Structure 1
Amino acid sequence: MRVVLVTYGSRGDVEPMTGLALRLAALGAEVRMCAPPDFAKLLDSVDLPLSPVGWPIRALATGAVPGKAQAGLSGIAAELTAMAYEAVAGVAEGCAAVVATGSLPALAGARAAAEKLGVPYVFTSMSPCYLPSPHHPPRPWPGQVIPAEMTGNRELWDLHAEHMNTMFGETVNTHRASIGLPPVDHIRDHVFTGHPFLAADPVLGPWQETPELAVAQTGAWIRPDERPLPADLEAFLAAGAEPVYVGFGSMPMRGANTQEVSRAVIEAVRTQGRRVLLGSGWAGLTTDDRDDCFVVGEVNQQVLFRRVAAVVHHGGAGTTTTAARAGAPQVIVPQVADQPYWADRVTELGIGTGHHGPTPTAGSLSAALETALAPETGARAAAVAETVRTDGAELAAKLLLDMIGRRGRG
């Protein structure tokens, strides 16, 4: 049995799909991953074959792909839809299912390939806030104008669907016509389907049932990481009290001066009497020459976050879950997409706080850290850590294989 997993997104999309892939493989399935070429080394390290999709995601996000810096998502949608279609169509013939997440144009291409090949397609969301529901409003989409008098969740989701049609409808249907498929009227609902998977922890990101969608919430898809920490990082951790980790993952923090942000976060942490551990990430955070500050690249956060006083980060679903699972208090500095949702959830749960605005200053971050480093926040974070599910990928793999089996028997 062969399953194709698809994403065009950053590490926060690829990591959970890798977690699912490993569980599927453990249960006897053959897995192929379609993802940006940036992740060839990661996937090779766990023996997952990669079919590259599109441009390197980091280059695209940081404006380094020639001719794409000013295009925006709508400007590259046609190419991305076609590239995802070609990648999936090239490996999915005869497979048992296509499971997809990531950007909407790539999802449309993945579903078109599955449809063309007669293969079941399963959409996955990493956050409940992306799924239409009368219980919460949609996240604002760049360029979308929302009338002031429109406040009801259902009408806001209807407006969201119209906006998706305006942005991507013509592009997606032009591509579908080129491969002999009929047009679709509702792009978002076509891509999301009526029965998506939700790969989010039920405590951190709960889903309220609604008649509109039959959502299978499995818990977050976690790839177990057993790598040791680098020796120089171990030496820094052993040299003093628990530091505060600050890193913004796959966020380039456009419009912000890297040096200024680095100085601000270092000063904020020092104001709280703590040592500083910087994750350089796409933001390129840099340290100064004092021995209470250390900078690291990509490391095992599952291990690291258990050894820090707090985690300051961008609010990606994966980083939020990893910090919560480690019992580390959090400060989320949201940049885009679902990150404000996770900032709100961390605040509501009492396991940290959200930062107001995408660019921290020394004063604003120091104030947020006062909340995160308070004893009651630490105690609450430790308590919530005990509730975070670790079997989400296994549950999703079993649900998927059961779905495939029922289809086969039918």
Structure 2
Amino acid sequence: MRFLVSTIGSRGEAQPVTALAVRLRALGNDVKVVAPPDFEDLVTGNGLDFTPVGPHLRTVTAVKLKPEDLGRLAEESVREQFRVVGQAARGADVLVAGGALQHATRSIAESINAHYVYASFCANTLPSPHHAPPAMLGRVPVNGTPEENLAQWDQQRHLFGSSRAAINAERAKLGLGPIDDVRDHIFGDAPWLAADPVLGPWPGPGDLVQTGAWLTDDQRPLAPELEAFLAAGEPPIYFGLGSMRGAQDAVDHAVEAARALGKRVVLQRGWADLRLTDDAADCLAIGEVNQQALFRRAAAVVHHGGAGTTTTAAAAGTPQIVLPHMYDQYYWGNQVERLNIGRSAKAVTTEVLAEALQLADQAAKVGTQVRTDGALVAAKRLMTL
């Protein structure tokens, strides 16, 4: 079969999409991946066909946009997605859209008579009376009664609608009729949930396909400098904010808290290019890394709360501290608290870090329950469409 798997999100969406594509190809399928140009090395490094879409996200997120720029960029994104996905999807049997803001994928699938599957990487990005929607535009919804939650979902629906005119203009070029509800159009009639059922279960109502998280099998060795650092003492505290533009003082707080407890620190610089304030031997700054290997050797993992990082830390059996910034990260912080495998906090203090370190046994127990075959489950099911 011929598959197109697409996303326009950050690494938290590009990585699971790549994991699915790897499994599909291993099962003998022809697979193409469409993702932002930032992730070309990730995709091609796994031997996959890669097509870039949109600008470099690392560059765009570094610029503080004015409100009047958002509408223009949204329209440009819609047109770009229709152009790129339309070309890459020629001859495809199944189109898989990974993550939100997939403006073109379902329309392209309609135009070529292909199957369409929308996959979410977090339960609270899909409507349910049992949870509030994710944080958007600086507003962090709070879980309430089923009626209150649904009301919050209705309030967020209009945020998707700003792209409706641009989508319908592109659909008209394909000979397709207009859509009214952008969110429901993107999610489709039967969305999938690519999240671990222990860490992020679907609360209902209704049944949906929950495959487990789509994880890569990362075999990259750790850098010699990092290996030497790990071997030189007890397991360190890992700190990294991924693609978030985190404040530098968050690093300083974490290092101070770790040192107060006699712990060392490994800092991943990330897209914010975070730095250490001194060159003491108890801390090491690194770049891109095999998190699966590193987290198993850490005393605790401090991170932004992305779906992939949260799942990787949970699977490693390592306690974690979530410092949420946006979107689904508050949800993952709550799930970490629910399972008692870590803490969700605004900053790393000595008290918060000490509490997290005391949860090592519980984190190890939950780690044995986290599924690692989600991408394979999804790939096999897609082949039955």
TM-score bucket of the superposed structures, by smaller chain? over 0.9
Report the residue type matching 1:381 in the other structure. Answer: A
d(CA) in 2 for partners of 1:262 and 1:323? 19
| Contact 1:127–1:199 under 8 Å retained in 2 | yes
In the alignment, the residues of structure 1 paired with residue 146 and residue 383 of structure 2 have an alpha-carbon distance, to the nearest angstrom, of: 42
Tell me what 1:94 maps to.
91
Q: Please say if 1:38 is aligned against 2:41.
A: no
Whether 2:121 is the aligned partner of 1:121: answer no
The CA distance in 2 between the partners of 1:143 and 1:313, in whole Å, is: 19
State how far apart, in whole Å, the 1-side matches of 2:320 and 2:335 are.
11
CA-atom RMSD in angstroms: 2.1
The answer to whether structure 1 residue 137 and structure 2 residue 132 are counterparts is yes
> Residue deviations 1:194-221, cap 9 Å, x none?
211111000000002323xx42000000
**Which sections of structure 2, spanning at least 5 residues, go unmatched?**
none
Aligned counterparts of 2:24 and 2:169: Cα–Cα separation in 1: 35
Runs of 4+, deviation exceeding 6 Å = 143-146
Match of 1:283 among 261, 267, 272: 272
The equivalent of 1:48 in structure 2 is 48
2:262 to 273, 289, 292: 273
Give the drift of 1:308.
0.7
Query: Is residue 373 from structure 1 mapped to residue 362 from structure 2 by the alignment?
Result: no
Distance 2:62 2:108 in 1: 29
Task: Tell me, yes or no, if the aligned pair for 1:89 and 1:117 is still in contact at 8 Å.
Answer: no
CA distance, structure 2, for counterparts of residue 45 and residue 169 of structure 1: 36
Aligned-partner Cα distance in 1 for 2:69–2:306 = 21
Tell me the distance in 1 between the aligned counterparts of 2:21 and 2:320: 29
Partner of 2:304: 314
Offset, 1:179: 3.8
| 1:384 counterpart (363, 366, 371) | 366
The aligned residue for residue 340 of structure 1 is: 330
The whole-number CA distance in structure 1 between the counterparts of 2:100 and 2:173 is: 21
1:349 corresponds to which letter in structure 2?
L
Contact residue 260 and residue 350 of structure 2 kept, 8 A: yes
Q: Deviations over 1:329-382 (max 9, x none)?
A: 0000001110000000001100000013xxx3xxx53222121111xx111000
- What one-letter code is carried by the residue in structure 2 that aligns with 1:272? L
Shift of 1:72: 5.6
Q: Does 1:83 align with 2:80?
A: yes
- Identical columns (%): 45
Report the secondary structure of 1:86's partner residue. helix
Specify the SS of the correspondent of 2:98: strand
Counting matched residue pairs gives 382
**Structure 2 Cα separation of the partners of residues 345 and 241 of structure 1:** 28
Structure 2 residue identity aligned to 1:112 = S
Cα distance in 2, alignment partners of residues 230 and 124 from structure 1: 33
Aligned residue number for residue 406 of structure 1: none
SS of the residue 1:402 aligns to: coil
Please say if 1:16 is aligned against 2:16.
yes
Answer whether contact 1:86 1:113 (CA < 8 A) is retained. Answer: no
Are the aligned partners of 1:124 and 1:196 in contact in 2 as well (CA < 8 Å)? yes
1:243 equivalent in structure 2 = 236
- Confirm whether residue 394 of structure 1 aligns to residue 383 of structure 2: no
1:134 deviation in Å? Answer: 1.6
Matched, 1:61 2:61: yes
Q: Is the 8 A contact 2:337 2:344 kept in 1?
A: yes
- 1:144 deviates by 7.1
Distance 1:69 1:36, change over 3 A: farther
Residues 120-178 of structure 1: CA deviation (Å, up to 9, x unaligned): 111000000001112112124317799x999622222222224422x332332233234
Summarize the Cα distance change of 1:71–1:97 in structure 2 as closer, same or farther, 3 Å threshold.
farther
Contact 2:295 2:316 in 1 (8 A): yes
**For the structure 1 residues 72 and 235, does the alpha-carbon distance in structure 2 shift closer, same or farther, using more than 3 Å as the test?**
farther
Shift of 1:26: 1.0
Rounded Cα–Cα distance in structure 2 between residues aligned with 1:48 and 1:156: 40
Give the aligned residue type for 1:89: G
Which letter maps to 1:265? A
Structure 2 residue 150 is the aligned partner of structure 1 residue 154? yes
C-alpha distance in 2 between matches for 1:144 and 1:336: 9
Matches within 5 A, 1:168-187: 168-187=163-182
1:152 maps to amino acid: E
How far did residue 52 of structure 1 move?
A: 0.7
Contact 1:40 1:50 in 2 (8 A): yes
Instruction: Select between 223-232 and 148-157 the one with higher mean Cα deviation.
Output: 148-157
Separation of aligned partners in 2, 1:42 and 1:145? 31
Q: Greater shift after overlay, 73-82 or 41-50?
A: 73-82
TM-score, structure 1 length as denominator? 0.89
Deviation per CA, 1:80-128: give whole Å up to 9, x if none: 1111111111121221111012341xx1212222222221111000000
CA contact under 8 A between 2:4 and 2:33: conserved in structure 1? yes
Alpha-carbon spacing, 1:145–1:393, altered in 2? closer, same or farther (3 Å): closer
Runs of 5+ in structure 1 lacking a partner? 404-410
1:16-54: CA deviation from partner (whole Å, max 9, x where unpaired) = 011101110111101000011111112121111111101
Whether contact under 8 Å (2:305, 2:333) holds in the other structure is yes
Match of 2:292 among 302, 305, 308: 302
Q: 1:215 to 1:352 in 2, by over 3 A?
A: same
Q: Answer whether contact 2:212 2:374 (CA < 8 A) is retained.
A: yes
Q: Deviations over 1:212-257 (max 9, x none)?
A: xx4200000011001111111010001111110000011112xx3x
Contact 1:150 1:156 (C-alpha < 8 Å) held by counterparts: no
Q: TM-score, normalised by structure 2?
A: 0.94
Cα deviation, 1:266-317, whole Å, max 9, x if unaligned, reads 1121112101110111121212210001011111110100101000000000
